[in-house]
Structure 1
Amino acid sequence: MEDLRKRLLKAEERIAYLGQIKEGIEWGNLPSLQETLQELRDAFYEHSQENLAERIGTLEESLAFLENRCEESLSSMERVRIVRSPLRFSLKDILENVYEEYTELGGEEDANIDPALVAARASISRRVKNRTIMQQVMVIGHEKGHGEEYRNGGSTKPWGNEKALRYMRVAETEGIPIHFYIFTPGAFPVEEYPGAAQQIARNLYVMAKLRVPMIAVTSEGGSGGAEAVGMGDMRLMFSHGYYSVISPEGAAAIEGKIREGAKLPKDLLENCAERLLITAEDNLRLGTIDRIIPEPLLGARRDDFSFFRQIKAEMIRATDEVVLKTKSLRAFRAYELKLEKAARAAGAGGDEEPRIDVSWELADDEIRRLLQFRSRKYRGMATQAYREHLSPYAAFYRRTGKGLAKLYYTFRYDILKSRHKQVKKVMQDVSGEGSVLIKQVTAPFSAAYDFIARKPNGRSARISTLWGSVGEDQVEYGELYTSSLANEDRTVSCPNAEKHGCKDLWVPDLYGEFCGVCENCGHHFPLEYQWYLRHLFEPDSIREFNADLASLNPLNFPGIDKKLEAARAKTGRPCAMITFDARVLGVDIVVAMLYSDFRNGTVGAAEGEKFVRACELARIKRRPLLSYVHTTGGIRIHEGTLGVIQMPKCTMAVREYIDSGGLYIVVYDNNSYAGPVASFLGCSPYQFAIRSSRIGFAGPRVIRDTTGEDVPPDYHSARSALQRGHIQGIWDRRDFRRNLHKSLMTMGGGNLYYR
């Protein structure tokens, strides 16, 4: 009878689980099964054992039929509910069932730096012939728990991601692989140090060149929170998991323009989940993951022990594959043949795990190849999600030009660099000794020039500049851009008028000679991106490149094609990023600019590709790289994970550029939020903000929905970001050019060409 009672309890759990997936007990014949279950429970001891066993067996058969029917028609939103079920397995279940032993680091349970993220030193075993081989790994991942409130549902706080980074470095020091497990709906959106966005950016920056194999497995992957521990050499995903740019609820609120606190329509929620292509099959097809780990019917649960054996085999196999690729293709092919042989043996009733011994220790040349493979992997992601119209001739011309540029700049700055420094030193010595003679010869001519150029008041003529002086010869640049806002013949009030007593400002002056800045309190009114193009850089120095890269609608999201067309018509540009060569007070630089007019400066595959190419060009030409962020609203949700993957892809490009000796400067303006700040912008060692700009990971509404608390009005202000250490300084718009030039001349490595 005890066995029958356990079967009845299991049937009750299965009915409740189906009800969770279908969001109600009314689906199919679940109501009648629920009544049958209740009847058997109430009259459990009134039935004979044979009758009870027969009726429970019939109930189990009916449940199995329903489960199969549910599996065949699972929607994307139902997969989300499977992942969020408290019955689903968690990271601690994996640690206890996949690894032989483990030691949790950074605290345990609720006595932890951040219980939503677990780091553990673990060992995993494999059988080779008649012996067991133990291999050491670092396991890092999110822990949702099974109802424990202190786990925060796997939503990691900034200090949890900092803990993850710390133990990534430990694994690198010890030379052991890292196994990442992603179980998070998203990062916890708080700006307190080390900051949600900034810490994710730091993690990505370090992972880009971490010198050990990394395997990442996703169960629930919510945007930037997933990427904080997701930049793997091999990216796996559980078959019933989801990986998304945003939660379905968040996407529905944006798409439906739902008021805060209002209930989301169920149809809208289901449609958004489907359109975002968040399932494992979707992501495999898009190329954002490498392989799917199959799960049992309706997803694995914490007591599916055969599934844990499968995870173990998959993690060993994935780590082997990453390691063997660094050794030789021949070794990798031999391993694949052994895998095929083992699979055939498993099909014939043999052992399912290949008994192969692969050392996970890497030599220096193997580490170098590992980093090369990782770079190529992320460089090749999402290349199908943008459009570039190039004729065969133009493509050939571009490739040839790039190759010649590499040869030229390598010869000029790598080969001749040491010689150049020696010659420069000699010239300095010679010029120093000859300066007295030169001064005596040129003195009469200098005196004559000063007399001719003298003004009536006795002072030498100097051409004033809007930007302040950098040197005596600085002049105002060409014909300056006047904001179209200056055409409005009216006055506006400064937002700080009540606090600082600012007078009303006449619009033509405000957006003309005042540069959009209140003279009394320094408040910066927003200006168009064209203003910066004309005021910041020397005239006729801007040379745009990759201007034909265009944003697409790779997920075929309804209505987005028309919105993209409208953005192109409005701006005359194909995407939200402009990349160009320019010059600032004699210094040549490469610039990547995100601007607000095109879809609020959001980043998708086209913008990511343009940014990566800008990094590559700056590296080839040995020029500083400036990211000027006029505005960015984050990752473009309509490109799904093809947008999310731009976070590691672009950060990889930045890391390679900085490692080559480049100077990377980021300047924020207006509003800068979410994915770009949490990746390729936030990883810069030199980040500045124009006064009155706002910087953060998530907007006030998202923070309120997530934390249940309101944030103060200045929570995302540049001053608060500076106080937290997220940026390195605040610039006045009127001093932008002068401050940028000073940074170019004083920051970065000594091997920058213009030094």
Structure 2
Amino acid sequence: MNIDKKTTELLERVNYAREILGNKSRPELDAFSKEIEELPVKFQNRSEDRAIRALESLDKRLSTMEAAIDAQLTAMDKVRIVRHPQRICLKDILENVYDNYTEIGGKDEHSIDPGMLIARAYITRRKGKKIINQPVMVVGQEKGHGQEFRNGGSIKPWGNSKALKYMEVAAREQIPIHAYVNTPGSYPVEDFPGAAQQIAENIYEMAGLPVPIIAIFSEGGSGGAEAIGMADKRLMLSHGYYSVISPEGAAAIEGRIKGSERAPVELIESCAISQRITAQDNLRNGYIDEIIEEPSLGARPDHFDFYKQMREQVVRATDEVALSIRGMSLFRAFAMRHFRKHADIIVRWSLSEKARERLIARRFKKYRKLAQHAYQDNRSLLEKLNATRTGIVSTTTSAVQYGLIKPFKQKFTRIIEEATDEIHVVTGRFESVFSNVLKKVGGKSNGKSQAEIELTGLSQSEPEKKIIPTDSNYVSPQAHLDREITCPNADKRGCLDIWARDLFTDFAGVCPHCGYNFPMEYQWYLHNLFDKGSIREFNRDIASGNPTDFPNFEERVQAAKDKTGLQSSCMTFNASLDGIRLTCATLIANFRGGSVGAAEGEKFIRALELAQTKHQPFLAYVHGTAGIRIQEGVNGLIQMPRCTMAVRKYIEEGGLYIVLYDTNSYAGPVASFLGCSPYQYAVRSSRLGFAGPGVIKETTGIEIPPDYHNCFKALSRGHIQGVWSRKDIRKNLHQAFLTIGGRNLYYR
């Protein structure tokens, strides 16, 4: 044993323990450190054997001390473990968990975002003399091994795009995906393809990948985690964390910290606990399926026994997913459930076509069941029974109308059309012969044939369409202001001041000179967009709550309910627009900034399910959203994949999904169930993106230009497909519903 080397190693372990404890005073560590430092002097004139025995004794004492400290770790201590430079990284895992691998998609500083590492790897399994090599696609964020260019695992949009590309390659090659989540969050840049848009696309596409996906969480930071974290089985390292926002970010919001100020340490510690971010918290809430136990104070690169344990659990998780959708798996499934050691159980990871269909269906059911405990259902028993009855009636009606009558009608119509077209060939020939005879008998006619009229004649005007009146009784409170309003573009474009009464009534909040759209209340849209008396709200009494028992948050939620008269920031209803029946979900900025939690996610999903049952188009009108509600922790964050899966199911069934943004729309909802729509539009003067200006400056140090999130910038980046004036919304939406749609065009 090299005594100096062993002494240095012990001192490094002590310093590591101090660092993950936030350099708090720990007398036992101080005393132990002092004892190590005095060791060389103490054994200067003694035999080497005695020094070695003393070091071994100290090693055992330090291990005992580490175990004792480990049992007392707080949530914030675990955050520091995950962020520590000595934490294991993805390359360590590739070297020690897999038998062979090749990094693909570029590597090191020449890669498209080297923070996202992709590798084609093999796991070799032996059964007697038989050797089975099972390929997997490994994707994950890499923090170390060249951290100076990996950006701390904070992935840019093109890095998430790279991950999706190779996950789709894995789906084509029919091999499982192992996703290692180790990121503080995605890099908030809007450059094409845009952080929010790319995360939304990743979640949407992963929902339908027909191969087993296993996610292993170490640091699961917000949308960055969700970009590769949707999985059939989710494992988590025991010292990891999974959260909607970092504890520091939550503390900054809770403490209203601005500028260069720092949140108090006590508030950061409190937020880390209150958000329920640890592996144990997430297991209790059902957001992960299993915990991989780490050595005391967290796994580090030289913990080789840990890699063996991780390999066993990752392989086992992949086996369980494959077996759960197989036909012949009775004995192997029983052995997997009841015996921890299953080295002799051989499970092949390739799936049949039927098994792949079952896999996707099970994935949807898994996420649909999550977060059911995290919202308040204040409906009475009678209301619940009535909702169940309505659902049964709608489902039955849909099955009869669209499953039986419509296919028969379509088939019959096709036969009639084909027969009519055949008859036209014969009758057209007779008409041509008869016309020629008439010409010879009666001379040249000055009249035009029907074909000539159709090609060259002016089209006849159709009768004027009856306009269905809107409920225009609503008057914006801003119209009662007894003053003139100055347009923000007045200096640049010479707009004249407008009297508030005229601006917010006759002009609908639109500057008559430059077209700037002033903010309007969500009630204006309800009364001016939809046909008069057509709105029928449902699920109103599914209410926002405080599932994490976040300090003082219940009172704030109740205050929002009292102030707005709403139970959550999401309002769902059926309505008609110029005679077209549709389902709408509205995120309302007045209620906690339009932030999304468990109640909002549940209402959004139920609205999509109702639209699918009724075969109606779906409109998501975003009056404004500040993102995911941080006080609900992962209960809110999990709504990103949950709602996105519901959107995917609706679109796959042929539904038409349109999103309209207004005011300010940022973060999680835009990076998932809103951003995955193929048809997104924005009201003029709206702002949208992944992160607000303050967050971007705090996380990147970059001062962005004032128009960075402007809707026209979003249009130029391909985020949205059009920018509308508020005055044209009703007309444009009606036109969109008539011309855009899936293969079934529900509303026709």
CA contact (8 A) 2:471 2:530 kept: no
The Cα of 1:53 is off from its aligned counterpart by 2.2
For residue 392 of structure 2, the aligned residue among 403, 408, 427 is 403
Separation of aligned partners in 1, 2:622 and 2:684: 13
1:700 matched to 2:703: no
Separation of aligned partners in 1, 2:53 and 2:332: 53
* Number of the residue aligned with 1:523: 516
Separation of aligned partners in 2, 1:104 and 1:47: 52
* Number of the residue aligned with 1:119: 118
Normalised to the residue count of structure 1, the TM-score between the two structures is 0.91
Separation of aligned partners in 1, 2:284 and 2:402: 43
* Number of the residue aligned with 1:440: none
CA contact (8 A) 2:215 2:235 kept: yes
Separation of aligned partners in 1, 2:110 and 2:412: 62
For residue 360 of structure 2, the aligned residue among 366, 371, 391 is 371
SS at 1:229's partner residue?
A: helix
Separation of aligned partners in 1, 2:43 and 2:269: 40
Q: 1:694 to 1:479 in 2, by over 3 A?
A: closer
Separation of aligned partners in 2, 1:393 and 1:538: 29
CA contact (8 A) 2:332 2:345 kept: no
Separation of aligned partners in 1, 2:198 and 2:40: 52
CA contact (8 A) 1:634 1:674 kept: yes
CA offset digits 1:209-249 (Å, max 9, x no partner):
11101000100000110000000000110111000010001
Q: 1:338 to 1:694 in 2, by over 3 A?
A: closer
* Number of the residue aligned with 2:569: 576
Q: Which amino acid aligns with 2:374?
A: A
Separation of aligned partners in 1, 2:297 and 2:511: 61
1:606 matched to 2:599: yes
* Number of the residue aligned with 2:660: 667
Separation of aligned partners in 1, 2:335 and 2:19: 43
1:12 matched to 2:32: no
Separation of aligned partners in 1, 2:54 and 2:210: 59
SS at 2:229's partner residue?
A: coil
Q: 1:152 to 1:491 in 2, by over 3 A?
A: same
* Number of the residue aligned with 1:458: none
Separation of aligned partners in 2, 1:574 and 1:333: 49
Q: Which range is displaced more, 563-572 or 53-62?
A: 53-62
SS at 1:603's partner residue?
A: coil
CA contact (8 A) 1:86 1:146 kept: no
Q: 1:508 to 1:429 in 2, by over 3 A?
A: farther
* Number of the residue aligned with 1:68: 67
SS at 1:120's partner residue?
A: strand
Q: 1:558 to 1:628 in 2, by over 3 A?
A: same
The Cα of 1:260 is off from its aligned counterpart by 1.9
* Number of the residue aligned with 2:302: 303
The Cα of 1:132 is off from its aligned counterpart by 2.5
Equivalenced residues, count: 709
Q: Which range is displaced more, 726-735 or 491-500?
A: 491-500
Separation of aligned partners in 2, 1:706 and 1:287: 30
* Number of the residue aligned with 2:344: 355
Q: Which amino acid aligns with 2:702?
A: E
The Cα of 1:409 is off from its aligned counterpart by 1.6
Q: Which range is displaced more, 199-208 or 354-363?
A: 354-363
Q: Which amino acid aligns with 2:392?
A: G
Q: Which amino acid aligns with 2:338?
A: E
Q: Which range is displaced more, 29-38 or 647-656?
A: 29-38
The Cα of 1:478 is off from its aligned counterpart by 4.0
* Matched ranges for 1:444-455 at <5 A: none
* Number of the residue aligned with 2:338: 340
The Cα of 1:633 is off from its aligned counterpart by 0.5
Separation of aligned partners in 2, 1:206 and 1:41: 60
CA contact (8 A) 1:321 1:332 kept: no
Gaps of 5+ in 2: 425-461
Separation of aligned partners in 1, 2:513 and 2:40: 78
The Cα of 1:391 is off from its aligned counterpart by 4.1
Q: Which amino acid aligns with 1:367?
A: R
* Number of the residue aligned with 1:381: 370
* Number of the residue aligned with 1:441: none
Q: Which amino acid aligns with 1:239?
A: S
CA contact (8 A) 1:313 1:353 kept: no
CA contact (8 A) 1:200 1:228 kept: yes
Separation of aligned partners in 1, 2:587 and 2:607: 13
Separation of aligned partners in 2, 1:629 and 1:185: 27
Q: 1:428 to 1:123 in 2, by over 3 A?
A: closer
* Matched ranges for 1:266-277 at <5 A: 266-277=265-276
1:733 matched to 2:726: yes
Separation of aligned partners in 2, 1:299 and 1:333: 36
CA contact (8 A) 1:325 1:332 kept: no
SS at 1:526's partner residue?
A: coil
Q: Which range is displaced more, 413-422 or 526-535?
A: 413-422
Q: Which amino acid aligns with 1:331?
A: S
1:500 matched to 2:498: no
Separation of aligned partners in 2, 1:10 and 1:471: 87
1:554 matched to 2:547: yes
Separation of aligned partners in 2, 1:421 and 1:730: 37
The Cα of 1:541 is off from its aligned counterpart by 0.7
CA offset digits 1:259-283 (Å, max 9, x no partner):
2211221111110101011000000
Q: Which range is displaced more, 49-58 or 79-88?
A: 49-58
Q: Which range is displaced more, 421-430 or 500-509?
A: 421-430
Separation of aligned partners in 2, 1:218 and 1:687: 32
The Cα of 1:3 is off from its aligned counterpart by 2.7
CA contact (8 A) 2:618 2:655 kept: yes
Q: Which amino acid aligns with 1:586?
A: G
Q: Which range is displaced more, 61-70 or 482-491?
A: 61-70
The Cα of 1:369 is off from its aligned counterpart by 1.0
Q: Which range is displaced more, 684-693 or 57-66?
A: 57-66
The Cα of 1:393 is off from its aligned counterpart by 4.1
CA contact (8 A) 1:692 1:717 kept: yes
SS at 1:362's partner residue?
A: coil
Identity %: 50
Q: 1:428 to 1:578 in 2, by over 3 A?
A: farther
Q: Which amino acid aligns with 1:38?
A: E
Separation of aligned partners in 1, 2:149 and 2:35: 38
Separation of aligned partners in 2, 1:191 and 1:605: 27
For residue 481 of structure 1, the aligned residue among 467, 474, 477 is 474
Q: Which amino acid aligns with 1:309?
A: K
* Number of the residue aligned with 2:36: 37
The Cα of 1:30 is off from its aligned counterpart by 2.2
CA contact (8 A) 1:128 1:355 kept: yes
* Number of the residue aligned with 1:413: 402
SS at 2:720's partner residue?
A: coil
Separation of aligned partners in 1, 2:590 and 2:216: 37
CA contact (8 A) 2:469 2:532 kept: no
The Cα of 1:130 is off from its aligned counterpart by 3.2
Q: Which amino acid aligns with 1:702?
A: V
CA offset digits 1:58-113 (Å, max 9, x no partner):
43244223312211110000000011111111111111111111111111122211
1:752 matched to 2:741: no
CA contact (8 A) 1:242 1:280 kept: yes
Separation of aligned partners in 2, 1:660 and 1:139: 31
Separation of aligned partners in 2, 1:550 and 1:524: 31
The Cα of 1:502 is off from its aligned counterpart by 1.1
The Cα of 1:31 is off from its aligned counterpart by 2.5
* Number of the residue aligned with 2:282: 283
Q: Which amino acid aligns with 1:202?
A: E
SS at 1:107's partner residue?
A: coil
Separation of aligned partners in 1, 2:378 and 2:334: 39
CA contact (8 A) 2:91 2:145 kept: no
* Matched ranges for 1:306-325 at <5 A: 306-325=305-324
CA contact (8 A) 1:542 1:582 kept: yes
* Matched ranges for 1:522-671 at <5 A: 522-671=515-664
The Cα of 1:579 is off from its aligned counterpart by 0.5
SS at 1:140's partner residue?
A: strand
Separation of aligned partners in 1, 2:515 and 2:619: 24
